[in-house]
Amino acid sequence: MVAKMSSPLGSPTLAATTTAFRNRLPTQFRRVLPLYIAAVVIFVFLFNLTLFRSSISSTSFAPSYPKEIAVPKPVRADFPKKIWQTWKVNPLAFEPRDLNTAKTWVNLNPEYRYEVLTDSNDMYYVEYHFGPEGFNRPDIVEFYRSVKAAIVKADLLRYLVMYAEGGLYADIDVEDMKPLSKFIPERYDHKDIDLVIGVEIDEPDWKNHPILGPKSRSFCQWTFMSKPQQPVMMRLIEQIMTWLNGVAKEQDVPLADVKLDFDQIISGTGPSAFTNAIIADMNDRIDDPNQKVDWDTFHDMSESKVVSGVLVLTVEAFAAGQGHSDSGNHNARAALVKHHYHASNWPSRHPRFKHPAYGEVENCNWKDECVNKWDKDVAAFEKLSEAEQKKIIAEKEKERKEKEDKEKKEKEEKERKTKEEEAAKKKKEEEDRRLKEEEAARKKEEADKAAAEKELQKARAPETVNEKPKP
């Protein structure tokens, strides 16, 4: 008993067996054996832990991710739901007339984003989109920075915005009359259309006129739609850069000091430049070399048509009520917008050709009889002597001054009558309101008096409630 208790293994036989086993193993192996055993235990533990985690991940506790992440396409099939305008100030500082016009776009298209680029943030926009981290066109950025003519920058900026982001552009004085969902007729598939434009001037009979000719056939660029990164927009931007740099070279001045007249603006950056670029792009996209797109394709259109991915709307769509080009009026079913022209004062800085005696032929507004008379008078004027020319100029100047004075008086008289009518209307409204208030006060006084008399009669009446007759 004492021997058993003194043995650390508790049994002489077990101790002997252990001693024999230990004597068979090398000493170094016996020393590292515990480490091997520990390593095996740790491995088994980690293996079981991995199996446990795998079973958890196979359940719905963890989300599953696709092997490939879908990246948005740079150019999508539909038009971006974005409305763009440009102006001197941001919408919070708009005058009432501009604010009311701008609201039409927002109210009729609540699902669209609306943004105004201003004289304060336009340069940042161009730098951001066309700088090194954008389209990497430092030439465009520097060109835009160098140009100082406001109308040139306004034209150029709309093309830059439409190329960078696309959407709808409209001048600040253009009122929206119908939702943008109506701008593309239902019979067309948006996937087949890259640009939506409308006819502005359709007077091809005057295409050979020395002044009116270049402006006689054009698309409207005060309102149009574009998908982003359309080649025609970049074509237009680069053509403007080439043209204006050429003008600066001819005038031997920096871009900032270039002088441009009305017709140069129209043909260089405005509707004529816009039209020529689009028609050239249409022809580039036609596979058949025997086919050619020219203005005859769009003359006297009775309904819209798609040509080379461009939806061309009739003149009523964006340019109704002009008084020419068979543009109808804004009550026409096809009319989509209304141009108020109150922001179109740039011609004062880039004047039209004005004959010293007969003024501007544009005042005829494309009326055949008026234009023909202007041409005839100008031709006759050139054949006169200098003294006769001066006499006619003096006579016409007198007529013009008398006409201006008459129009000024008529305008003042009209304004005076309008003010008097407004004052009379206001006075009548105030009188009606006063009478209404007096009538209401009289009725209230009568009602209060009747209620008081009723209460007094009630107080004087014998108290008969719950009284029993005396025996």
User: pLDDT per residue over 229-276, tens digit each?
Assistant: 999 999 999 999 999 999 999 999 999 999 999 999 999 999 999 999
Does 38 have pLDDT greater than 90? no
Does 449 have pLDDT greater than 90? no
Average per-residue pLDDT in the chain?
87
In this prediction, residue 468 has a pLDDT band, given cuts at 50, 70 and 90, of low
Stretch 64-93: mean pLDDT: 75
| Choice among 205-209, 342-346, 395-399 with the minimum mean pLDDT | 342-346
Give the list of residues 6+ apart from residue 173 with CB closer than 8 angstroms, or none. Answer: 98, 101, 339, 340, 341, 342, 343, 344
Would you state the pLDDT for residue 2? 41
Query: What one-letter code names the amino acid at 202?
Result: D
Q: CA-to-CA distance for 77 and 438, rounded, in angstroms? A: 66
User: pLDDT per residue over 132-159, tens digit each?
Assistant: 999 999 999 999 999 999 999 999 999 9
- More confident: 20 or 322: 322
Cβ–Cβ under 8 Å, residues 171 and 223:
yes
User: pLDDT per residue over 353-393, tens digit each?
Assistant: 999 999 999 999 999 999 999 999 999 999 999 999 999 99
Does 63 have pLDDT greater than 50? no
Indicate the pTM of the whole model: 0.74
**Tokens of residue 303, six digits:** 């309904």
Does 121 have pLDDT greater than 90? yes
The pairing of beta strand 113-118 with beta strand 82-87: parallel
User: pLDDT per residue over 155-192, tens digit each?
Assistant: 999 999 999 999 999 999 999 999 999 999 999 999 99
